[in-house]
Amino acid sequence: MDRSILAPAPSSSPPPELFSVWHVSVWLLSEDLQASGSLGSSRALSYVAPWELDATADFSDTQTKPYKCHICPKAFTRPDLLKRHVAGHGSQAGESNGGSIGETRFMPGRVTKACKACASNHLRCSEEKPCRRCQEKGLECRWPGSTDADMVMTPPETCPQEDESMFTQDDASAMTSLSNPLSMSQASPPSMGGQASLDVLTPQTTQHLFQTLDPSMNIENNPLFFHFPDLNLLSGQWSSAPTNDMDISTYNGLDDMDLQFLDSYNVSIPFEVSNTFQPTPRGTQTPRTSHMDPGQPAAMCSEAFQNSHWRFRPNAKDHAGAEDHNLSLPSMTSDYPSPESRVSLNTNTRVTCAKLGGPARDRILMMIVNSCQSDSLSKAVASFPSVDLLDTLVQYYLTSPHTRAVSFIHAASFDPNEKRPELVAAMVACGAVLTSDPALCKLGRAMQECLRLAISRRWEQNNTLVRDLQLLQAFLINLEVGIWSGLPRKVEIAESFFQPILTMMRRDGKFKPSAYPNVNVGDAYGFDLRQAWLNWVENESFKRLAFRLLFHDMGVSMALLVNPLISYAEVLLPLPGSPDIWTAASPEQWKSCLAAQENAEPMVVADFLDNPDLLNDLGNSIDIYMAGMAVLGCIWAMCWEYLQFSSLQRSRPRRWNALVTELRKDELLKLLSHLKLSLTSQISIDPEINLRLELCLLHLHMPFEEIQIFAGMEGPERARAVYPIISDWVKSEDARHTIYHAAQIMQLVKALPKGSIRGPPVIILYHASLAFWVYGLLSDQSLGTTRLTTQSVYLDDEEGTALQRFKGFGQGQPCIRRRSDMPGEEDVLVSVPLSQPDKVMETIMSIVRENVGGMAVPHLTEKLVQLMAELEKSAKRKVAA
């Protein structure tokens, strides 16, 4: 046999400084395959070294690659390279692993203890004992340190009828000879025995080279093999050829990826294999190896996601009357005093003058009786809340900072005795859920379920009521209670029932300016003035209800990651007027405030999107809070539009130009930055405005849906599929901007009043925590060991040079701060690096615990904290490994 099939001709011997470990590995493989009988004398492998390439060959500029793969993001300079690359996808699809096209396979690391059967055959074993191969083949699985009790036999009848080993004796001896370089020259090729020759040598066939080398070489800690790429990721292959001499113009064995690979290894020191690292220049980044299964965190957190508010798994016990038994309050005891005492309401903060009376309570009770099941009817009637408790809960709802109810319900003209029972019951239900008493929370959820049926029945009985303001307000309050309840069934119902009320408002033209005519009081007084005031209150209430729908739509889209139902282009109605006019206590006061108001053209959301500085110029003539929330609601819809287009562009890069999406992203970032600078002092201190603004900035820089999938929302297999996207993102500048905005969210949540981490704020905090978690979990695989000695950069600090350098260039170690747990040092701030994701998650959970402060934890907050705890456990396991 000709033993020089892979060696270059004497006339084209390589320069010594260009000979690399790559050529050694190819030579070793050829010797081994010849020795094992895998290559015949008539079939030879041909390899053209980079220094043998014809200098006159026409190579296109590698920066311009017009031929793009329709399966993966790769691009090539010539059509023949693309054709061979696509053929490689087809071969991968037929492999036994069952992976789909474009799915990155995870290569597990070396096991700690291999069983004797796998070790003797040079096969990969598994960590679980008995190993999978021994179970499938019915072999006795023995490993070092095992006992008889550890061994499990697989019945012979379950074994597949196949060869006992993937290697013949000659193959095993040939592989063993690799450990001794001297034996390579003494090996003689065995007879072929009719064995078919190897026509194509793919990168997968070289994988055993690095699995069977001498352990004394310590490959994992060696710098040469440390940077050796995964051979399964190479796009090229070596083809058999009759000679070493060939025309470069017709040779298609090397593509751009191969040339870059060879060039990177030609600068290495040839044949130098040592157990010590060369000194790393300061500022360079040395990749670390990691054997973490990309599906491992997802496997640990998958159950927590299944039990979260995102997943509703119906069963026979789920129905409309399942909570009717909670309509009755427990009897008063020494442990449970009067329900009114469980509501922390300041009597001096009463919003309405009129107090709820007995007839109003009877109407609410009649509505509940008509909606609940008969088996719970008698108990509900006997223990229904008293008039005083119902009135207290109404006032609690109107004064709660979480609801901002007075922004769309006119408190000055509100009389619970004259309003529809559905509206009063909705306010009672929401007020009960906001309390920290478990019995009242259950009462509120049960009333909310009855109310949903009662309002629908009223609309079905009389279709003209679909234009009734009070029923629409009651239905929206009902949806808000359901969507932020944290209960999967209520969340799903609230999400699906948002479309009817939106359709009613849209069909009535409430999103158009023609529905809100200008008010001209003139010389009206007395009865006419009061009637004009009430007409204006109704029109303004419809306007504020429309904007409340916009805020709710943004919250649902943000919490459930669904498409907003309200387009930013259809929000054409004028913005609400000054709060002074809205909160006027009497018609006369309303008239004087209206006369003092400048007669200017009504402003719409599009005006502020075009020029956010108008928030400073028109702060006295409009409701700043409503205007800011409306602008952010429309911007969120734009951000969601960009995120969907960007996701489509990532999956189909050949169709959509990335330049278009990046330009759109830059426009949105500039708009949000301009808006942030334009916020007045009155609105800049509002935490809800700032939280939603930071949330928009957070999502513009991160693929949140893919990150949630990686965390385990859809199981380990999907987590492995999105791992390449997340791994690339963690190394980008976008990732550093993401964790900066996550730190800003954390700071804003810290400043919230006690008991305020519920509803949208806890959802936003969870989004920030997930950004911290994935960055800390994966960034240490790509960052250098010198990062441990660099300067700490505090993301929750004031904007400075160090923070700008980190966001722009990645210089420094990102950290956040938390209060010390040591007794007597509660005011001392300690540093928590993001490279310890378990400590970061613990810091975020401690923020929630401090805010709750011994009170009953809302169900949604409790569920998300449990999910954060699972993320912490997965991070702790990864750090320990």
Amino acid at 432: A
Residue with the two structure tokens 């409430």: 510
Residue with the two structure tokens 């932020």: 484
- Which residues of the chain have a pLDDT value below 70? 1-64, 90-110, 145-296, 298-300, 302-304, 307, 309, 332-342, 344, 346-347, 619, 653-656, 680-684, 780-789, 879-881
pLDDT score for 91:
54
Q: Is 584 exposed, middle or buried (0-12, 13-18, 19+ CB in 10 A)?
A: buried
**Other CB atoms within 10 Å distance of the CB of residue 245:** 11
Q: Is 558 exposed, middle or buried (0-12, 13-18, 19+ CB in 10 A)?
A: buried
In the chain, domain spans: 10-109+170-266, 324-488, 509-700, 729-880
pLDDT in tens, 674-707: 999 888 666 667 899 999 999 999 999 999 999 9
Nearest one of 537, 547, 533 to 505, comparing CA atoms: 547
Cα–Cα distance for residue pair 441/859, rounded to 1 Å: 10
pLDDT score for 581:
94
Nearest one of 468, 361, 458, 475 to 417, comparing CA atoms: 361
The strand pairing partners of 75, in sequence order, are 68
C-beta separation of 474 from 423 below 8 A: yes
pLDDT score for 650:
80
Residue with the two structure tokens 């001209």: 520
Q: Are strands 792-794 and 829-833 parallel, antiparallel or unpaired?
A: unpaired
Which two structure tokens, joined as six digits, stand for 608? Answer: 């502020």
Please tell me the pTM assigned to this model.
Answer: 0.68
Continuous segment of H or E residues that includes residue 351: none
Nearest one of 146, 107, 110, 119 to 130, comparing CA atoms: 146
Continuous segment of H or E residues that includes residue 819: strand 813-819
Question: How far apart, in Å, are the Cα atoms of 105 and each of 136, 645, 781?
Answer: 22, 27, 18
Name the DSSP class of 45: B
pLDDT score for 112:
72
* Mean of pLDDT over the chain: 76
Cα–Cα distance for residue pair 442/448, rounded to 1 Å: 10
Name the DSSP class of 221: G
